[in-house]
Amino acid sequence: MLSGNKSILVFNAPLEEVNILKENGLKVIEVSTEMTEMKISDILDGLRFETVTNNIVDETVILFNDFSDEEISQIIASIRQRFKGGIFAVVTPTSIEWKFNYLVEHLIEEREWYLKNQKGR
């Protein structure tokens, strides 16, 4: 994670939810479809490259950078009162070097694996 850059990256989130996060004083970086081939670190640094991609994901993604576990829990609980679905994750020292699309694909695969393996319990 990029220390000292407490931010929430949002992709494909309802505008109302994005506005609520901003109104609560949180730094929100909206990731557009044209930015999905950028590295997470570049997005957090404020760079904006318009890239061409064919791998457009139809998922709401909310990524937390440099938040404590307690802060993340509180924010997610607040969001879940208004909005269901989506993928929530934390930027890690590994994922910060990944392209946004690659990270989202990885998170979707993890979710699918988890859901598949939960059914057998």
- Rounded average pLDDT over 91-110: 95
Tens-digit pLDDT profile for residues 32-70 = 998 999 999 999 999 887 776 666 678 999 999 999 999
Neighbours of 56 (CB within 10 A): 10
What band does 111 get if pLDDT is binned at 50, 70 and 90? confident
Q: CA 51, CA 71: separation in Å to the nearest integer?
A: 32
Q: CA 47, CA 41: separation in Å to the nearest integer?
A: 9
CB 35 within 8 A of CB 100: yes
Tens-digit pLDDT profile for residues 73-82 = 999 999 999 9
- Rounded average pLDDT over 104-110: 92
What is the domain partition of the chain in residue ranges? 7-118
Residue 92 has pLDDT above 70, yes or no: yes
pLDDT at 114: 84
Q: CA 30, CA 39: separation in Å to the nearest integer?
A: 14
* Global pTM value: 0.88
pLDDT at 53: 66
Q: What are the start-end ranges of the H helices in 1-121?
A: 15-23, 40-44, 69-82, 100-118
State the Cα angle at 27 between 26 and 29, rounded to 5°.
135
Tens-digit pLDDT profile for residues 7-41 = 999 999 999 999 999 999 999 999 999 899 999 99
